[in-house]
Chains A and B, each alone.
Chain A
Amino acid sequence: MNKNSNTYIISYAIIMVVVVASVLSIAALSLQPLQEANVIIEKKTDILVSVGQGAGADDAVDKTKYINDQYKEFITDSYAVNVKGEKVPGADAFALLTNLKSEYDKPVAERSLPIFVSKSETGEMLYVLPLWGKGLWGPVWGYISLKEDWTTVSGVVFGHKSETPGLGAEIATPVFEDAFKNKRVHWDGSEVKFSILKGAGSSKGNDSAVDAITGGTITCRGVESMLQVCLDGYEKFILEQRAENKNINN
């Protein structure tokens, strides 16, 4: 057969593409359930870690079961709120969380933002707000958990799709995340609710700022604007909660 004839080349290309496409789709479809399960477990793990639970996940024999049990035990409630500060009736917070990007693609007024409520062994309530934003190369996301006063940060967890390892990707390491602990979110209508400042030590004495990462400036700016945009959506609801709390306390 003449290997350089047009017929041969075209049929060769067609057959090759069809074969490769079917192999890849079979692989993608058969691995999809595993991958989706991984993503759900990752989200549950992140929520748990942000409230200081789920520490034994890496040592657990069956990580999936461990996380599901922990999640059932510590995450006691979840609901969604809109930008007007009302609870959205019938909203499934976890379903919203798995599709957070499309929620933030909507106009501000139409967003339903999930909140997860956790109760620790000592009865302390923590509120977890999921975050979604843009880093340098792709999406970044995170969870910020607030103490009962809705202001003091109890913990954060960040994640990213494709930040540079060793630089921007450091946002997802304990070194960066631990700096948020016991800092405060500025809810008093101020423009900046939380800042990430360039230069080591520049956040010293500032109770609502942390140091940025060397070599990860653009990622850090992304995280900062993510905090800004996402926390804005919760502000009305949280201000109302805080007002109610004060009434109870008085």
Chain B
Amino acid sequence: MSNKEKEPMFSAKNLKLLTSPFNQDNPVVVQMLGICSALAVTAKLKPAFVMALSVIVVTAFANLLMSMLRNTIPSRIRIIVQLVVIAALVILVDQVLKAYVYDVSKQLSVFVGLIITNCIIMGRVEAFALANKPWPSFIDGIGNGIGYGLILVVIAFFRELLGAGTLWGYQVIPQALYDLGYANNGLMLLPPMALVIIGVIIWVQRSFNKNLIEK
């Protein structure tokens, strides 16, 4: 990387770091990272949204901190240092959620703690932050966090709509439809359907981006 010192904060290259994970380089549907939590927290829209926010914060700051430390870390305990930093950030997020948005933190329950095991964070730290300067790493973290969050919200949208007939906890499918014999699909609430929805998203995305199709 031959970054010049005077590079503007939002140069074309940095913007690309931010936006490419939304689609071309999406962590979930292209890099296939973080699938596990995408299955777990997407039964309802609201927890999925807060989860996405928490992951954005953690990826951004894990990348930032690791990039700042990258020249001091002994390579033999590299992974341990990454784990400690990520775990500390996740515990902080959990504590802050418990103190300020107690209701939501109750809904997310164990999954905030499980951000530690989210492969996206380790993946980005290892693949990007250790080789790049703090600012681009920070942007890369935010971009990947949003890329992950987008998929989460889309999956949660379909699962909550079809599985419970609600969105963000509000009833959206009218009672009249139920009277006509429509029923909520309980299967949508089970994790396997999240995997199927991810599959559909990948299919749709590949059909728009032919260059992602492997030969």
Contact A13 B95 (CB under 8 A): no
| A161-B109 CB under 8 A given contacts A20-B85, A215-B189, A215-B190 | yes
Q: Which of A4, A20, A28, A38 contacts B102 (CB 8 A)?
A: A38
A80–B111 Cα distance when bound, in Å, is 36
Q: Which of B47, B72, B189 contacts A167 (CB 8 A)?
A: B189
Q: Which of B47, B84, B99 contacts A165 (CB 8 A)?
A: B47
Q: Which parts of A21-53 form the interface with B (CB within 8 Å)?
A: 23-24, 27-28, 31, 34-35, 38, 42
Contact A42 B75 (CB under 8 A): no
Contact B84 A9 (CB under 8 A): no
Contact B92 A165 (CB under 8 A): no
Closest chain B residue, CB of each to CB of A161: B109
Contact string against B for A residues 142-183, beta-carbon threshold 8 Å, 1 for contact and 0 otherwise: 000000000000000001111111110100000000000000
Q: Which of B91, B102, B109, B164 contacts A162 (CB 8 A)?
A: B109
Contact B44 A24 (CB under 8 A): no
Q: Please give, as numbers and ranges, the residues of chain B lying within 8 Å of A27 by CB-CB distance.
A: 91-92, 95-96
Range, interface on chain A: 20 to 34
Contact A31 B75 (CB under 8 A): no
Measured between C-beta atoms, what is the minimum distance from B73 to chain A in Å? 7
A3 interface residue per 8 A CB criterion? yes
A111–B96 Cα distance when bound, in Å, is 35
Closest chain A residue, CB of each to CB of B108: A165
Measured between C-beta atoms, what is the minimum distance from A180 to chain B in Å? 21
A214–B99 Cα distance when bound, in Å, is 32
A17, A23, A164 pick with most chain B CB within 10 angstroms:
A164
A31–B91 Cα distance when bound, in Å, is 12
Closest chain A residue, CB of each to CB of B85: A20
| A38-B73 CB under 8 A given contacts A20-B88, A162-B110 | no
| A31-B41 CB under 8 A given contacts A13-B77, A165-B107, A167-B189 | no
Q: Please give, as numbers and ranges, the residues of chain A lying within 8 Å of B108 by CB-CB distance.
A: 165
B60 interface residue per 8 A CB criterion? no
Contact B109 A163 (CB under 8 A): yes
B81 interface residue per 8 A CB criterion? yes
| A34-B99 CB under 8 A given contacts A24-B91, A27-B92, A167-B43 | yes
Contact B77 A9 (CB under 8 A): yes
Contact A137 B110 (CB under 8 A): yes
Contact string against A for B residues 28-50, beta-carbon threshold 8 Å, 1 for contact and 0 otherwise: 00000000000011011001000
Q: Please give, as numbers and ranges, the residues of chain B lying within 8 Å of A137 by CB-CB distance.
A: 109-110
B163 interface residue per 8 A CB criterion? yes
B181 interface residue per 8 A CB criterion? no
Contact B75 A4 (CB under 8 A): yes
Contact string against B for A residues 1-24, beta-carbon threshold 8 Å, 1 for contact and 0 otherwise: 001100011001100110010011
| A165-B44 CB under 8 A given contacts A9-B74, A9-B76, A27-B92 | yes
Q: Please give, as numbers and ranges, the residues of chain B lying within 8 Å of A164 by CB-CB distance.
A: 40, 43
Measured between C-beta atoms, what is the minimum distance from B159 to chain A in Å? 8
Q: Please give, as numbers and ranges, the residues of chain A lying within 8 Å of B109 by CB-CB distance.
A: 137-138, 160-163, 165, 169
Q: Please give, as numbers and ranges, the residues of chain B lying within 8 Å of A8 by CB-CB distance.
A: 74
Q: Which of B44, B74, B88, B100 contacts A34 (CB 8 A)?
A: B100
Chain B positions near chain A (C-beta within 8 angstroms): 40-41, 43-44, 47, 72-77, 80-81, 84-85, 88, 91-92, 95-96, 98-100, 102, 106-111, 159, 163-164, 186, 189-190
Listed A/B pairs (14) with beta-carbon separation below 8 Å: A3-B72, A3-B75, A4-B74, A9-B74, A12-B74, A16-B81, A35-B102, A137-B109, A138-B109, A162-B110, A164-B43, A165-B41, A166-B43, A169-B109
Chain A positions near chain B (C-beta within 8 angstroms): 3-4, 8-9, 12-13, 16-17, 20, 23-24, 27-28, 31, 34-35, 38, 42, 137-138, 159-167, 169, 214-215
Given contact pairs A12-B74, A13-B80, A138-B109, a sample of 9 additional A-B residue pairs in the complex whose CB atoms are under 8 Å apart: A12-B72, A23-B88, A24-B91, A27-B96, A34-B100, A137-B110, A138-B110, A164-B43, A165-B41
